[in-house]
Amino acid sequence: MTHASRSDPLLRNQSLVTFQFAGTEQVAYSNTVSTPLVGPKLSLCKSAGTECAALGQTIGYRLELENTGNKSAEVTLYDILPEGVSFIANSLLRDGVPLPGAKPSAGVSMGRIEAGSSACIQFQAIVTALPQDLKLVNQAYGDYTFHTQDGRSISGSVRSNVLILRAEGIAAAASLKASTTQTFVGDVVRYETTVVNQGNVPFRDTVVLAPVPDGGLFVPGSVTIGDIHAPASDPVAGIILGALAPGASVRVAFRVRIEKVPAANPLISRAYVKYVAYGHPGETETNTVAVMVVQAAVAVSKSVDKRLATRGEPLRYEVTVDNESAFAIDGVLVDSFPDNALFVWDSVTLNDVPLKGVLPADGIRLGSVKAHSRAVAAFQATVPISAFDRSSPVVNESSLNFTFRLGDGRLIQETLPSNAVRTELVLPVFDVHVTVMPPVVEAGDMMEYTVKLTNRGNWPADVLLTGLTADGAFLMKDTLRVNGGDAGSRLTAEGLPLGAVAPRQSVRIDYAAATSPLWELPTIGGYVGARYRFEVEGRFHDDEVRSNGYTVAIEDPYE
pLDDT 10s digits, 194-218: 999 987 789 999 999 999 999 999 9
What is the reported pLDDT for 529?
96
Please give the angle made by the CA atoms of 109, 114 and 115, to the nearest 5 degrees: 135
Distance CA 95, CA 268 (A): 56
What is the reported pLDDT for 5?
44
Q: What are phi and psi of 479, to 5 degrees?
A: -95, 0
Q: Which of the following CATH numbers is that of domain 172-293: 2.60.40.10, 2.40.40.20, 2.60.40.740, 3.30.460.80? A: 2.60.40.740
Distance CA 542, CA 536 (A): 11
CATH topology for 298-425 is Immunoglobulin-like (2.60.40)
What is the reported pLDDT for 392?
83
Which residues face 533 on adjacent strands? 462, 542
Same fold, 42-167 and 430-555: yes
Q: Which helix (H) or strand (E) holds 84?
A: none
- Residue 134 — left, alpha, or beta (φ > 0 → left; ψ -120 to 50 → alpha)? left
Q: Is-cis flag, bond preceding 266, omega within 30? A: yes
Distance CA 488, CA 485 (A): 9
Q: Which of the following CATH numbers is that of domain 430-555: 3.40.50.2000, 3.30.1330.10, 2.60.40.10, 3.40.640.10? A: 2.60.40.10
Helices (H) and strands (E) in the chain, counts: 1, 54
What is the reported pLDDT for 9?
59
Domain ranges of the chain: 2-36, 42-167, 172-293, 298-425, 430-555
Please give the angle made by the CA atoms of 412, 418 and 423, to the nearest 5 degrees: 160
What is the reported pLDDT for 1?
41
Q: What is the CATH number of domain 42-167?
A: 2.60.40.740
What is the reported pLDDT for 250?
96
Q: Is-cis flag, bond preceding 36, omega within 30? A: no
- Separation in Å, CA 412 to CA 292, 316, 331, 392: 15, 32, 12, 38
What is the reported pLDDT for 3?
45
Look at strands 58-67 and 118-127 and give their pairing: antiparallel
Query: End-to-end distance of the chain based on CA atoms, in angstroms?
Result: 185
Q: Which helix (H) or strand (E) holds 389?
A: helix 386-390
Q: Which helix (H) or strand (E) holds 323?
A: strand 315-323
Which residues face 442 on adjacent strands? 555
pLDDT 10s digits, 326-339: 899 999 999 988 88
**pLDDT (tens digit, 0 to 9) for every residue of the chain, 559 residues total?**
444 444 445 556 667 777 676 667 777 777 776 556 678 999 999 999 988 887 778 999 999 999 998 889 999 999 999 988 999 999 999 999 999 999 999 999 998 999 989 999 999 999 888 787 778 999 999 999 998 888 888 899 999 999 999 877 777 899 999 999 999 999 999 999 999 998 778 999 999 999 999 999 999 999 999 999 999 999 999 999 999 998 899 999 999 999 998 888 899 999 999 999 878 898 999 999 999 999 889 999 999 999 999 988 999 999 999 999 989 999 999 998 888 889 999 999 999 999 999 999 999 999 999 999 999 999 999 988 888 877 689 999 999 999 999 988 899 999 999 999 999 999 999 999 999 999 999 888 999 999 999 999 999 999 999 999 988 899 999 999 999 999 989 999 999 999 999 999 999 999 999 998 888 889 999 999 999 999 999 999 999 999 999 999 988 765 5
Contacts of 355 (CB under 8 A, 6+ apart): 348, 349, 364
Distance CA 326, CA 295 (A): 10
What three-state secondary structure class fits 102?
A: coil
**How many CB atoms neighbour CB 3 within 10 A?**
10
- Burial class for 536, CB neighbours closer than 10 Å (0-12, 13-18, 19+): middle
